[in-house]
Amino acid sequence: MGSYFIPKASYGPTQAAPIKAVTVNQNLLVPVKVDIDPTVRAVRYQEKEQIKSLNNRFASFIDKVRNLEQQNKMLETKWKLLQQETATPSQVKPMLEAYIANLQRQLDLITKDKSRLDMENSTVYKNLNDYRTKYEQEINKRNVAENEFVKLKKEVDASYVSKVELEDLVSGLSEEIMFLTAIYDAELRELQENLRGTSVVVQMDNSRALNMEKIVSEVKDQYEEIAARSREEAENWHRTKFEQMKAEANHYGEGFCNPKYEISKLKQKINRLQIEIETSKSQLLPLETQIAEAEQLGDTTVKDAKACIVDLEKNLQRAKVQMAQQIRDYQELMNVKLALDIEISTYKKLLEGEERRHEQNSISNKTFLNVKAAATKVNYAVEKDSVLACLLQPKGTSSLLSGDLSGSVITSGKYVSLQTKGGDREVAPVPLEQAVCNTLPAESTNVTLVGPEGAGKTTALEKLVLDWAKGERLQSFSCVFHFRLKELNCLQEMLSLETLLLRHGRVPLESLPAVLQNSSQVLLVLDDLHVCGQSLDPSAHAPCDDPSQVVSLGCLVASLLHGSLLRGASFVVASRHTGDLKFLTGTQMEVLGFLKPQREAYFNHFFTDPAVANRALAHMEKTLGFYDFCTSPRFCWTVCSLYEPLMEAGEKLPETVSQLCVGVVVYLIGKLPLTAARSRELMLALGKMSSHCFLNQRLSCTTEEIASFGLEKFLDAVAVFLQVDGQQLDRHVFSFPSLILQEFLLAVSYFWNDSTPESTEEVIAQLRGRTQLFDAFLSALSEPVQRRPLEAVLGEPNDDLVADFKRWFRRSSEEALRGYQKDQHHRCFHLLHQAQNKSLVKEIITPAARVGCSYGGLGLRECVVLNYVVESLGEMDLLNLYRARSLTEEQVEALAPAMSLSREIMLKDSRLCSGAVAHLAAALSRGITTELDLTQTALGDEKFQILSVGLRDCKLTTLKLEVCALTELSGGHLASVLSSSTSQLQLLTMRHNEIGDQGFIKLSAGLCSPHCQLQELQSFSAPESLQSCKLTAASMAALSAALTSGQSELKKVDLSLNSIGLPGAASVCEALQHPACKLRSLVLFDCGLTGECCQPFMEALMSEHCCLAELDLSVNSLGQEGALLLGQALRRPGCPVEKLGLQRCELSEPVFEEMGSLLRSGSSLLKSLSLGLNGVGDLGVKPLWEAVAHPNCLLEELDVEMTDLTDACMEDLSAALRATKTLRNLGLSNNTLSDASAAALVQAAQQCQSMQAMKYVCSSSLYPKPP
């Protein structure tokens, strides 16, 4: 906490220049004569004329509009009259037409938007592919380089280790050689001393005439003298040596009894070791060469880097000098501007007649102007240095939980800019510093930074103030005050604004009035706003407007933020999410913390080895990256600090957040000199404090509260787990630096409590809505494998409590999984994921669990836990992701293993990006999925091309591609899928896809492949959309060729709502007569057929090779003649048709008579007949009732909806129902039958033994009761 103030002027005593008289230019007092420029007058006249002409044109347009409106009304009246004259009795058609027109308009708009978005999407996708290719190439190069570097590093490390071992061996041998050499020298000296008293007889040739006796006698005398001295010295030396050797012999014992033998053995050993040394030296030489080369390369790199650093420092220094010069120039300009403003103001006041009152002020301002500018320059530089020194001074110590010191992070170059986002969610995140500087002071005077604990708000605020002190940001403010409200709150004292600025802001007393007067140039940076106990609601308290008034800290802060104090000042406020933030004006920014790019940069700063950093980051993203708290810089620090020793020791990294917390607690307890019993007592005390904070919604506790929890005995250990604020011992405030650890400690204290507290269900009910991971931590700690590290430092937990939790978990999970609330399902899955026990998953998720309900709207965490559950089960019948509107690449990547293990995947009405589709394709190619529903996913051609890669090699038998925005481009991709040798696709639906004739021709080419196993093809659009696949007769020839190729297995084709007309029908009917055609069902609903089309159908049905069992020609204008032709064909003995649809085909009474005769003939195999929406009345339908009652009739389903039946038909209808033995379903909806007919229908249906369902009046079903 600190303040940073730049005094703008010095008002002390100065030596002023002599006062001069003020002279006024008399010309300035003469009234100014203003004449309008003729050019301006002409321009104004032209503008006036233009406005007149525009008004006239506007009036004429209004008249035209009125005339057109009158004509439109006349036409509407005529249209209504014509409609009344030509209106039919039916009320359904106009309603349907209006509904169709409305949907057509909506679809046209959607189609236009789709075309535009498709073009934009294709452009973006193309750019994405280019960038992805470049990125993959760079990644491959980087991976190769990293692999080579790792190999070289391993070789260098091995060489260095070998070198160290050999050096140790050489040093040991050298010492041994020195010892043996010393022994050898001592023995040699002893032998030489022994030889001194030895006489030698020398035989010489005395043939020469020399007086040898004399010479010998002289020599003898000399030698005798020398020998005498030597003998005496030798005796003395031997005596001394003997005493020494005797003492040494007594000391060393029998170990030196035979020194010669030991010497010989040592010599042999020396020779052997010398040989080994030579061998090692020969091996060491190339290794030293490699090391030297590596060191040389490293030195060269370091030199280059140092040179670059020197250049950068020079450039930086040059930039700083230029910036300082610019700042000085700016200050000089501002001073000149200020002087001019003062002079202008003085002249204005003189002109107003106030010369006497302002004359002295004008002279005084001119006098002190130069003094003020000089003082500002000097104090500016001095104050910036003091600010930097204050900010860079270390405050506190870093820990595993609280994170690294903010000053250390900034000065060491490890600071990573946070991401923030304003109220508009559509705007991309921006760096926090940039957002704040762009907002102040242009848009508002207040900026509120909102984020969770540990999001890096404190460090970001200090970085802003530090940049201001360095002259890099926020230079429009002369004074910046930085206060941490948490530290001020610990003082528990009343404050005034003047006291706050003087004591905690370190403002000089003589500068305080200038600060209060020039508040528009003041910026207050307030951290930890959420700790203030006072409400920010201006109506909740009386505001303070006196800077000298002593009030509480909360009232003081509220008065500052609402402008009662220091009006005009700007604020940057940091706070957690609280309800009081709604009372703050200005711009509110959400601190997003570390997104994925920022986490990658942070890990690269933390770990010096890029390979280690990448491995650590990948593991964190896989196991923890789906939690919101992973965006917290403090959490990233904790993870890196825990990963580092584990990776160095080669140990396994934690797989869940529970395992991470177990590792953190074990690490922190290991730093304390406590026994297991004392550590357990400490955990229980911390659990009491955690429970107190959660239940009372407290963020911190006082010293008295700490003592009541039993933590007074662990004051030295408290700083390891808690954050301590406040300088005075009796005013310390204790809080948990991490909410995650707070919940985990609560879970630990619950299980390790020897006493019997409340049951698990009661504890969880009390904490529901107050904690997020408490039950998940309990689930993890209930497993012996998960809690084993804690048992090593705390002892065994309470077995009764563990058993009680398991019973509650099993009971609540079974109850939740029997329902359809997906939130409860996700909660159960998360607890299972934390437990990491696959056998437990299989025990809890039984066949009675409704795990097939829709799991749309998943987050990344839900995807991860759902994937874990499916993997634990081994397989899943249905993975239901209905209405998953925003499936990202990360989510589908997390779900890919679960997709591979699911037999059916439901993605209806979902949205997938291109990356997500690629993961889906990979999952299909390696999985067991047999059915995939992509209805209404707006897949598009490009995404389907990606998907088709996986479809070519998978086990899919059913593929639904309805309303997927496919065009003719996808026809070729579908053909490649169908012609694949591994394709097992049997059912393909393509409703509402404008593939057109060209796309369908491409698709038909795939149907001719010998590998194609497709049996059912539905290429029509949904009836409710009233849109076709744009197929015409041009593509029917290709379909006919595929059906007659002998390779196609197609048994059902549905081409509804496609205008194929007579030529298309003729092509299809020609295929039906071919012996190779296996088609058994043909649906041509609303395909633009007429009565002429019935002749080809009659010929096809008369053919002996036709095997068609279902024919639906509904909503086609067949007429009486066409339907009678079909009736003739159906009379052929052996005609295979069992189901016939002729709804709304403009049929008449003779057609109904023909159908009744056909049913009574006994030659027809018809079992289902639909003749609805043909208004023939009671007499027209009567032949059908007679046919139903006939014993030769095989009919099981009959639909006569909207055929204008009345109560007059009830006698015939009841008789038919009582007589029939085969009819099961009867459709009578939307006929003019009265309520009086209901009793007769029910009675007749009850008497009918075969009847199962009857549709009567608006599709309501009447089920007969047994008599």
Read off the pLDDT of residues 57-78 as tens digits, 9 standing for 90 and up: 777 777 778 788 778 878 877 7
Tokens of 442: 């242009």
CA-to-CA distance for 342 and 1014, rounded, in angstroms? Answer: 91
Q: Percentage of residues in the chain with pLDDT exceeding 70?
A: 79
Q: Which two tokens stand for residue 884?
A: 């998953």
Cis ω on the peptide bond leading into residue 441 (within 30° of 0)? yes
Q: Which range, 263-277, 299-313, 1186-1200, is most confident?
A: 1186-1200
pLDDT in tens, 798-815: 888 999 999 999 999 888
Largest CA distance in the chain: 184
Q: Which of 103-117, 229-243, 883-897, 985-999 is least confident?
A: 229-243
Check pLDDT > 90 for residue 1070. yes
Per-residue pLDDT band at 1022 (split at 50, 70, 90) = very low
**The tokens of 404 are what?**
């690294």
Instruction: Return the pLDDT at 499.
Output: 80
Using the 8-state DSSP alphabet, how is residue 712 labeled? G
> What is the model's pLDDT at position 254?
52
pLDDT, tens only, 729-771:
556 778 888 888 889 999 999 889 887 667 888 888 888 888 8
- Tell whether the model's pLDDT for residue 1259 goes beyond 50: no
For 930-971, list the strands marked E by DSSP: 931-933, 958-960
pLDDT of 1260 strictly over 50: no
Structure-model confidence comparison of residues 158 and 24, the more confident one: 158
DSSP character for 1090?
B
Strand partners, 841: none
Q: Residues of the chain with pLDDT > 90: what percent?
A: 21
Question: What's the rounded mean pLDDT across residues 1123-1130?
Answer: 92
> For strand 1253-1256 and strand 1260-1262, is the pairing parallel, antiparallel, or unpaired?
antiparallel
Residue 1024 contacts residue 992 (beta carbons within 8 Å): no
Please, which pLDDT band fits residue 9 given cuts at 50, 70 and 90? Answer: very low
The Cα 156–Cα 145 span in angstroms is 16
The pairing of strands 987-989 and 1016-1018 is parallel
- Helices 822-835 & 774-781 angle (0-180, nearest 10): 40
d(CA 50, CA 45): 9
Q: What is the three-class DSSP state of 914?
A: helix
The tokens for 19 are 């006062």
φ and ψ at 543, to 5 degrees? -70, 155
Q: What is the dihedral of CA 752, 758, 761, 763, to 10 degrees?
A: -70
For tokens 């501002």, name the residue: 334
Of the listed ranges 355-359, 566-570, 596-600, the least confidently predicted one is: 355-359
Higher pLDDT: 527 or 4? It is 527
759-770: pLDDT as tens digits: 888 888 888 888
Say if CB 930 and CB 904 are below 8 A apart. yes
**391, pLDDT greater than 70:** no
- 89-115: per-residue pLDDT in tens? 555 667 777 778 877 887 888 888 877
Q: What is the pLDDT of residue 1108?
A: 93
Q: Tokens at residue 35, please?
A: 């004449």
Angular region, 474: left φ>0, alpha ψ -120 to 50, beta rest: left
Tens digits of residue pLDDT in 396-414: 555 666 666 666 667 666 6
| SS3 label, residue 906 | strand
Return the higher-pLDDT residue of 940 and 302.
Answer: 940
Q: What is the pLDDT of residue 1110?
A: 94
pLDDT value, residue 725: 74
Task: Please name the residues in contact with 870: beta carbons below 8 A apart, sequence gap of 6 or more.
Answer: 876, 879, 897, 898, 901, 902
What's the per-residue H, E or C state across 1122-1164? Answer: HHHHHHHHHCCCCCCCCEEECCCCCCCHHHHHHHHHHHHHCCC
CA distances from 955 to 869, 881, 902, 926, 981 (A): 23, 20, 11, 9, 12
Structure tokens at 1243: 């009675």
The three-state secondary structure class of 316 is helix
Q: Is the confidence at residue 682, as pLDDT, over 70?
A: yes
Return all residues near 944 (Cβ < 8 A) that are at least 6 apart: 961, 964, 966, 970, 973
pLDDT over threshold 80, residue 908? yes
Q: What local confidence, expressed as pLDDT, does residue 20 receive? A: 42
- pLDDT by residue (tens digit) across 645-680? 888 888 899 999 999 999 999 988 888 888 888 888
Mean pLDDT of the chain: 78
Q: How would DSSP label each residue in 457-478? A: HHHHHHHHHHHHHTTSS-TT-S
pLDDT tens track for 769-797: 888 899 999 999 999 998 999 998 888 99
Give the single-character DSSP code of 16.
P
pLDDT tier, 854 (very low <50, low <70, confident <90, very high otherwise): confident
The residues facing 1054 across adjacent strands are 1018, 1083
SS3 548: coil
Amino acid at 1002: K
Q: Which residues pair with 734 in a beta bridge?
A: 701, 724
Strand-pairing partners, residue 988, are 959, 1017
User: What's the pLDDT at 127?
Assistant: 78
**Among candidates 977, 1116, 983, which has minimal Cα distance to 1059?**
1116
Residue 994 has pLDDT above 90, yes or no: no
Residue 1071 has pLDDT above 90, yes or no: yes
Band of residue 1167 on the pLDDT scale cut at 50, 70, 90: very high
d(CA 32, CA 35): 10
pLDDT value of position 1244 = 81
Kindly indicate the confidence band of residue 204, based on its pLDDT and cuts at 50, 70 and 90.
very low
Count CA atoms closer than 13 A to 336's CA, side-chain side. Answer: 6
Residue 460's pLDDT band (boundaries 50, 70, 90)?
confident
Q: Is the pLDDT at 1266 greater than 70, yes or no?
A: no
pLDDT in tens, 302-335: 787 778 787 777 877 777 777 767 766 666 666 6
Strand partners, 1169: 1140, 1198
CATH 3.80.10.10 fits 1089-1267, yes or no: yes
For residues 561 and 611, which has the higher predicted lDDT (pLDDT)? 611
Examine the pLDDT at 690 and tell me if it is beyond 50. Answer: yes
How crowded is residue 118: how many other Cβ atoms within 10 Å of its Cβ? Answer: 16
Answering whether pTM is above 0.85, one says no
Q: Which residue has the tokens 């002729």?
A: 1142
Which pLDDT does position 15 carry in this prediction?
A: 40
Q: Are 1048 and 1078 in contact (CB under 8 A)?
A: yes
- For residue 735, what are the β-bridge partners? 723
Higher pLDDT, 290 or 1056: 1056
Element at 258 (helix H, strand E): none
CATH of domain 417-593: 3.40.50.300
